[in-house]
Amino acid sequence: MTGLVVVADVGGSKLLLRACDAEGGVRAEARHETGPDTDGARLDALVGAFVEAHPDASAVAVAVPGLVDDGRVLVSDVLPRLAGWSPAPTAVGPAAVVVNDVRAALAGVCHREPLLQDVVAVVSGTGIAASVLTGGRVLAGSSGWAGELGSVPTSLTGGGGPVLDEVASGRSIERTLGRRGPEVARLLAAGDPRAVRVVTSAGTALGRAVGMLVTLLNPERVVLGGGATRYAGYADAVVAAAGEAALPEAWERCRLDVDDDPGSMVVRGLAALAAFAPLATEGSAHGLPTVPTTSRSRS
At residue 22, the pLDDT reads 67
Q: Which of 22, 132, 140, 252 is nearest to 5 (CA)?
A: 22
Domains 4-101+266-287 and 106-262 belong to one CATH topology: yes
Mean pLDDT of the region 49-73:
90
Task: Give me the pLDDT at residue 292, please.
Answer: 37
> Reduced to 3 DSSP states, what percent helix, strand and coil does the chain have, rounded to the nearest 5?
40, 20, 35
Query: Which phi and psi angles does 141 have, rounded to 5°?
Result: 85, 175
pLDDT tens readout for residues 213-226: 999 999 999 999 99
Give the per-residue pLDDT at 95: 67
Q: Which fold has domain 4-101+266-287?
A: Nucleotidyltransferase; domain 5 (3.30.420)
Distance CA 94, CA 294 (A): 19
The pairing of strands 4-10 and 14-20 is antiparallel
Q: What percent of the chain has pLDDT over 70?
A: 90
Tell me what pLDDT residue 279 has.
37
CB contact set of 143 (below 8 Å; sequence gap of 6+):
294
Domain 106-262 belongs in CATH node 3.30.420.40: yes
**Tens digits of per-residue pLDDT, 82-109?**
999 999 988 887 768 899 999 999 998 9
Model confidence over 240-258: pLDDT tens digits? 999 999 999 999 999 999 9
The closest alpha carbon to 18, from 28, 4, 10, belongs to 28
Burial per residue of 74-112, b for 16 or more beta-carbon CB atoms within 10 angstroms, e otherwise: bebbbbebbeebbbbeebbbeebbbbbbbbbbbbbbbbe
The number of angstroms, rounded, from the C-alpha of 233 to the middle of its chain's C-alpha atoms is 20
Distance, in Å, from the CA atom of 202 to the CA atom of 120, rounded to the nearest integer, reads 20
Report pTM. Answer: 0.86
What residues does each domain of the chain span?
Answer: 4-101+266-287, 106-262
* Per-residue pLDDT, 276: 65
